[in-house]
Structure 1
Amino acid sequence: MPIWAAILLFVATVLFMEGFAYVMHRWVMHGPGWFLHKSHHRARVGNWELNDLYAVIFAVPSIILLLGGVQLGWWPGATWIGAGVAAYGAIYFGFHDVIVHKRVGHRYMPRSAYMKRIIQAHRLHHAVETKHGTVSFGFLWAPRPEALKAELHRRGNRGVRAARGADAKAKDREVA
């Protein structure tokens, strides 16, 4: 396989994976796979959550494609597709687990408009604690936060987490 074709296949796979991740997140994780994903919309206790099993599930095709392409004599493109899936997983881990959820300590502060938009969109996704009513399912591309806020408002803010301290303030008003 010519190197230009391999690189093109690799890049196309990484781009395809954003669409695949969107579909899986919206219709599987917030659908029949909610039993695993709901742990990600709750406060984490410890280092792991059930949602982490999705990383293992999504790594399996990459491992199989890399093994088949490198060791088992499959079509050479299998290697590049497997590498593209693995690259998307690494990018996703860096953005999602490290930068947004800070599962690995760091001092990075987003300065670019792109990074601020991605982080805010993901936080708006997590503002909803329920299976339904969430916004922004992609990760490397996200709608403008203003559009996401408007969509949450249009839906009547169903499932949106109460602001921190809101329960305490409400109880204070009841007592007074």
Structure 2
Amino acid sequence: MSVPLVIFDLDGVLIDSAEANVQAFRYGMEQVGIMVTDRDSILDLVGLPAVTMLERLGCPVAEVDSVFKDFVTPYYIQNLPTLAKAYPGARQVLEQLLESGFRIGACTSGDRVTQKAALETIGLWDLIEFMQTPDDSEFGKPDTRYLQELLDRFGAYGDVHHVEDS
């Protein structure tokens, strides 16, 4: 009998990373002398490419790449594990899926160390059977080969359900 799978994205689906995003982008902008005090001005941009977010927040175009690489990314990676929260009901949903016979995986664009630490902090790591990160692959989202590599790790499986926010 083949067992169905549910594959979850992490940030924005199981992990509420809003505070980590706000703080990381604020920190990056501060490095170029721009104070961003309105949380919504950052949150309204989440989902866009980071470079676009920085430009729309007023970062000088010539400094966007270095601000992202040198400040935003390291801040986010360092602080996500402590700033992350599980979305309300996330653990209960995963537990119900497991009780109903589903296997659970995660497919993320975040690095393994940061995402695992965040999942451990919010109490969901023990419910995830396999996780696919850029550390595991030469591919990345949205390339379907990236997801297929995760599916291959499960071996035999039935229907696949994929939960994403974008």
> Under TM normalisation by the shorter chain, which class is it?
under 0.3
Q: TM-score, normalised by structure 2?
A: 0.27
Q: TM-score, normalised by structure 1?
A: 0.26
Q: Say which structure is richer in strand.
A: 2
The structure whose RCO (Cα within 8 Å, separation 6+) is larger is 2
Larger Rg computed on CA atoms: 1
Q: Say which structure is richer in helix.
A: 1
